[in-house]
Structure 1
Amino acid sequence: MDEICLKAYAKINLTLDVVGRRADGYHLLQSVMQSIALCDLVKIRKGNGLRLAVDHPGVPADVHNTAWRAAELFLKRIGIQGGVEIDIDKQIPVAAGLGGGSADAAAVLVGLDRLYGTGLTPEELGDMAVAVGADVPFCLQGGTQLAEGIGEQLTPLPPVPGGWLVLVKPPVEVSTAQVYQKLKPGTFGTGSSQAFIDALVQGAPWARLAEKLGNVLESVTEELLPEVRLWKGRLLDGGALGTIMSGSGPTVVGIFPTLSEAQHFQGRWQGQAGIILTQPVGQGIGEANGGDR
């Protein structure tokens, strides 16, 4: 095998609690994370040296890209003399709180393991993943997981029910570092995550799970970007069972009970923001030819 093409699935946060802060400044989290069908396509082929091409002008194609760092780390740690050429077809919005860069990096690790037949264990791949970025371990495993620590400590959870997710990405950006810097210690706690997990384990439908959605960072991002509160309101008015901002934003997620209701919302507001319809999936990396990992 000299070439492989993989789907790198995006993620959303169904809950996000901050429980503390490490001495080095990193915040400690509890977050229920979910893979979704929205994905980038990552084509990897054997080559000489390291080359990365991305079809989005706002995404670097060098060491500042997590996919590049993942490839560099893999080749160095395994001691492979050959190289790799990587082409990324970006479908996941950039700087949106959807983990696109982390997903691409996870796909590179999986792809290189397969291309070079190194047969790494999930633990070995996971060690590389956390060295690249905090969300990369989740994107490697995917599905529905409780993420703790800085996001690298994962516990599998029962899958969420089927349903339709509407992602709204306002035409604005927010600095993740700035959001965390403005977060006050008084907001630390585990309220949303544990309540959501309890309901999920009991087999609750979305109508009940939607009541448990919660992201402590929303209060900060909404101050910086009023569009977040605006779109949450529009989603609820449009029939969403519940809404939540993913990560540090600015993407807002609405949970809809039916495809027709999700499509109606998309038709009503498309053009005023990036609006994407998607669904939960049970893995982090998939085969581009239709099979899943």
Structure 2
Amino acid sequence: MATIKATAPAKVNLTLHVTGRRDDGYHLLDSLVVFAGVCDQLSATSSPDMRLSVTGPFSPGVPNDDSNLMMRAAIALQRVRGVELGAALTLEKHLPHAAGIGSGSSDAALTLAMLAELWGVPPLPADAPEVVALGADVPVCLQAPAPTRMTGIGDRLSDVPPLPDCALVLVRPPVDVPTAAVFQALTSRDGSGMDALPQGLDYDGFARWLAAQRNDLQAPAESIAPAITQAIAALRALPVVSYAGMSGSGATCYGLVKDMATARQVARRMQIAHMNWWVAPAAVLQPA
């Protein structure tokens, strides 16, 4: 039987400006999203029915029924394209979930792409209602590995100029930060949008641009989980880290560095100093 294997990268919001709130309660965002070279491992095999098995270091707590976003994505594609076949899906979970790096959304987006290939049907576009209904981060994850500007409620995507070569150190202290609580703690919901990303930035220019942007969810997340403040301070204390901030609604934080060699050095220092934190050096992915 045919089997497809692929990797679902972590999604990192390098910026996250909250620019408004709709009448239905959804917040309007403006965010630069990049994808990092640390991934979940997925596979899909032809099967008469639909099922999912989950393994890996972060498998505890991940459901394998229809409440899993991968299963919801598979069922949505199956229904829209009139597919009668099923698939045996496997997820080897290496990314922490509920951590602000969109691992569930990345898994779902990759599931849509893998099953479209496996079943020989047209893939769903990022703006398809069925994709948007899966969650605000699923459309942008369909753009991986390309850095993308995400606006609206996550449904409006636009290309950005090529980024300079760089890497990240991802750090997640062992705290949970409920997204709803973070948004509830926001003091301002109508901030300015992100500055346009200039063409042709070198690494230093990109770091300066990034430092002039915001993550409006960082302050409320820090008020809920002070360990986030500690993680960002630990990254900023290292001279080789050009900028440090929080991804999404937390609790994963990132440090921007020039290259993977530096990222590995920083990651080792962070792991030694904070043995109970999840730490991962990762390249910022670019289109082939």
Same fold flag (TM > 0.5): yes
Q: Structure 1 regions of 5+ residues with no counterpart?
A: 284-291
CA contact (8 A) 2:20 2:190 kept: yes
For residues 53-87 of structure 1, the C-alpha deviation after alignment (integer angstroms, 9 at most, x for no partner) is 11101111112211010001111111111111100
Indicate which of 112, 132, 144 corresponds to 1:130.
Answer: 132
The separation in 2 between residues aligned to 1:127 and 1:69, in whole angstroms, is 14
* C-alpha distance in structure 2 between counterparts of 1:28 and 1:3, whole Å: 39
Corresponding residue for 1:229? 229
Tell me which moved more, 126-135 or 172-181.
126-135
Q: Where in structure 2 are the equivalents of 1:54-65 lying within 5 Å? A: 54-55=54-55, 56-65=59-68
Partner of 2:18: 18
Match of 2:120 among 117, 120, 135: 117
More helix by percentage: 1
Kindly tell me the number of residue pairs found equivalent between the two proteins.
Answer: 278
Question: For residues 118 and 125 of structure 2, what CA distance do their matches in structure 1 show?
Answer: 16
Q: Which residue of structure 2 aligns with residue 34 of structure 1?
A: 34
* Structure 1 residues 152-163: aligned runs within 5 Å: 152-163=155-166
How far did 1:159 drift? 2.4
Equivalent residues of 1:130, 1:152 under 8 A apart: yes
RMSD (Å), alpha carbons: 1.8
- Which structure 2 segments of 5+ residues have no match? none
Per-residue deviation at 1:262?
A: 2.7
* Aligned residue runs from structure 1 range 68-107, under 5 A: 68-107=71-110
- C-alpha change, 1:218 and 1:84, in structure 2 (3 Å) is same
Shift of 1:213: 4.2
CA contact 2:260–2:282 (8 Å) conserved in 1: no
Residue 2, structure 1, aligned to residue 9, structure 2 = no
Amino acid at match of 1:166: V
What SS is found at the alignment partner of 2:151? Answer: strand
Asked if structure 2 preserves the Cα contact closer than 8 Å seen for 1:213 and 1:244, the reply is no
Structure 2 Cα separation of the partners of residues 25 and 98 of structure 1: 22
Q: Which amino acid in the other structure matches residue 170 of structure 2?
A: L
Looking at structure 2, the residues matched to 121 and 57 of structure 1 have their Cα atoms a distance apart, in angstroms, of 30
- Aligned identity (percent) is 36
> Aligned-pair distance for 1:232?
0.9
1:213·1:242 contact (CA, 8 Å) conserved in 2?
no
Q: CA deviation at 1:20?
A: 0.8
SS at 1:201 equivalent = coil
* Aligned-partner residue type, residue 33 of structure 2: M
Q: State the match for 1:256 in structure 2.
A: 257
The worse-fitting range, judged by mean Cα deviation, of 5-14 and 205-214 is 205-214
In 1, the alpha carbon distance for the partners of 2:63 and 2:126 equals 29
Conserved? CA contact 2:20–2:189, under 8 Å: no
Shift of 1:144: 1.1
What residue number does 1:267 align with? 268
Q: Distance in 2 between matches of 1:209 and 1:267?
A: 27
CA distance in 2 between partners of 1:69 and 1:121 (Å): 14
Distance of aligned partners of 1:118 and 1:261 in 2 relative to their CA distance in 1, 3 Å threshold: closer
Residues 123, 94 of structure 1: alpha-carbon distance in 2 compared, 3 angstrom cutoff: closer
CA contact (8 A) 1:14 1:34 kept: yes
In structure 2, the residue matched to 1:242 is: 243
Q: Deviations over 1:83-108 (max 9, x none)?
A: 11100011111111011000111111
Query: 1 CA distance for matches of 2:153 and 2:126?
Result: 17
